[in-house]
Amino acid sequence: MTDLTRLSAAEALDGLARKDYSAVELTEVHIRAVEAARPLNAFVVETPELALEQARASDARRARGEAGPFDGIPIGVKDLFCTKGVQSTASSRILEGFVPPYESTVTANLFRDGAVMLGKLNMDEFAMGSANITSHFGPVVNPWSPGTLAQHDEAFAAEGAAAELVAGMGQPRPRQEWTFTRKLVPGGSSGGSAAAVAARCVMAATGTDTGGSIRQPAGFVGIVGLKPTYGRCSRWGIVAFASSLDQAGPMTRTVRDAAVMLRSMAGFDPKDSTSVDMPVPDFAAALTGDIRGLRVGIPREYRMDGMPAEIDRLWEKGVEMLRRQGAEPVDISLPHTKYALPTYYIVAPAEASSNLARYDGVRYGQRIDGTSLKDMYENTRAAGFGAEVRRRILIGTYVLSAGYYDAYYLKAQKVRSRIKQDFDEAFKRCDVILTPTAPSAAFGIGENTDDPIQMYLNDVFTVTVNLAGLPGISVPVGLSADRLPLGLQLIGRPFDEETLLRAAEALERAAGFEALPPFMAGAV
């Protein structure tokens, strides 16, 4: 049988329809893959029993001819999504042990369409980070981290005789063990989602993107990451970071998988006041393969001083790939780009400081008692929040405080409007925009951690998309000199994911990226 972990979700759906294998068989293979991938620390909760229960229900629906559009596909769910009856913590100590009595709208939509949940995925605490190193549960390791595969002999007992044998008395068998020689970050905040998809232990995963948290990790691990238009997917039941920026989206192995998964995730939700009431297209139907006449904007402001030459070469390569398929490159200007990062790091922390005020030890989550109510608040928040979360709360509180609101927050909102206007003008001349996804390949865990500003620069190419509420997608295009994945980003008009996905599939097809991470050799 074909190695089921190497299939795309779309290929797996075709195989399920042909009855080449069952949803249970597909799920069992991926449960074993999740177990093999534990050295990556991608999961904070594994749910194999729930997954098998959902897979059996999927097989029953398919037998009745009632299969949904995503039926039987094993996925991982970022720990930011509330899942009924399954711990949901936003990878923060302050929510450790919290089990929601309700389901987020996005995961409910996926389960309605037949998705199978293998577990909850690690992430930067409250989605604040660009490297997945701020999680209370420890950092996620990029499966592209270099290492060596060693083989050991270990004792095992013959089937049925385990209870009668003591350790070391069974027959020896080979055991493969992957040892990292350097641990790389998978990007953040959706690093667990990215690592799990790249390591082929889930077929797809949910992510959230506030300033690049789907696209940047997708670029770091060599997968596809799609941030839809703000309002396309409901935010209800997703732990809030910055409410005017947060958006859920799919992280997948291929562009077609992203199109199929987005159709299940998206839809109007009256419980979310920012959800847009408009029909959800069949995104996969837009993947015609024809981009002749498509105008591709190349923003001059994204050519930054100090950008590695290999990133610039990759960008030029992407332009040529699209040109050869009939697209027309167009030079455009986004003049307020240089203000995007400081604007984002005023707006996002301001909204975070408001959203995180609810974690006070009274209603849910961790509580650290004190001699007074004020002491209890302070003790709970000091013990429950990590350093990066505390930093952003303090920044947000400062820019919203009396005397600084006009100088910082109000001015940032005005610049945000200008950034949106830049894109509006650019899209009069082009249909999509092509940029790098990130200014570098993945870096080592522990590097850049002493300089928060350096970490924030990882989002330099992605934050503008969130500030303007646009859809964006990262597609793996090549490898760095160190043989690490590099991605390119396409940006589309609001609610024009069809054109965005069509261009992304053309880029994907031309790039022909099929490289697998080194860790895959040790996860067999």
pLDDT (average), residues 13-34: 97
**What's the farthest any 2 CA atoms get from each other in the chain?**
76
Strand 295-299 relative to strand 328-332, pairing: parallel
Residue 410 domain flag: no
Residue 380 domain flag: no
Buried b (16+ CB within 10 A) or exposed e, 240-250: bbbebbbbbbb
Q: Provide the domain limits for residue 307.
A: 4-148+182-339+416-522
Convert the pLDDT of each residue in 176-235 to its tens digit.
678 899 999 999 999 999 999 999 999 999 999 999 999 999 999 999 999 999 999 999
Residue 349 domain flag: no
Q: Is the model more confident about 177 or about 331?
A: 331
pLDDT of residue 357: 92
pLDDT of residue 457: 77
pLDDT at 132 > cutoff 60? yes
pLDDT of residue 166: 37
Residue 8 domain flag: yes
Contacts of 496 (CB under 8 A, 6+ apart): 229, 471
pLDDT (average), residues 11-38: 97
SS3 for 474? strand
Active-site option among 91, 189, 193, 474: 189
Confidence tier at 292 by pLDDT (50, 70, 90): very high
pLDDT at 152 > cutoff 60? no
Convert the pLDDT of each residue in 393-405 to its tens digit.
999 999 999 889 9
Residue 163 domain flag: no
pLDDT at 157 > cutoff 70? no
Contacts of 211 (CB under 8 A, 6+ apart): 245, 344, 348, 459, 462, 463, 466
Please list the helix, strand and coil fractions of the chain in percent, rounded to the nearest 5, in that order: 40, 15, 40
SS3 for 25? helix
Q: What is the 3-state secondary structure (H, E, C) of 186-210?
A: CCCCCHHHHHHHHCCCCCEEEEEEC
Q: 417 catalytic, yes or no? A: no
Strands (E), 194-320: 204-209, 224-227, 247-252, 295-299
pLDDT (average), residues 375-388: 93
Convert the pLDDT of each residue in 3-16 to its tens digit.
899 999 999 999 99
CATH number, residue 206: 3.90.1300.10
**Six token digits for residue 348:** 């996002």
Can you state the angle between helices 9-18 and 255-265, rounded to 10 degrees? 80
pLDDT at 158 > cutoff 60? no
pLDDT at 175 > cutoff 60? no
Active-site option among 213, 234, 264, 353: 213
Length of the chain: 524
pLDDT of residue 193: 98
Residue 208 domain flag: yes
pLDDT of residue 148: 85
Convert the pLDDT of each residue in 49-85 to its tens digit.
999 999 999 999 999 999 999 999 999 999 999 999 9
Active-site option among 78, 120, 183, 227: 78
pLDDT at 433 > cutoff 70? yes
Confidence tier at 366 by pLDDT (50, 70, 90): confident
pLDDT of residue 250: 98
Residue 143 domain flag: yes
Residue 177 domain flag: no
Confidence tier at 365 by pLDDT (50, 70, 90): confident
Q: 189 catalytic, yes or no? A: yes
Domain count for the chain, please give it. Answer: 1
pLDDT (average), residues 122-135: 96
pLDDT at 2 > cutoff 70? no
**DSSP 8-state assignment for residue 377:** H
Q: 271 catalytic, yes or no? A: no
**Six token digits for residue 42:** 């991608």
User: Mean pLDDT across the chain, nearest whole number?
Assistant: 92
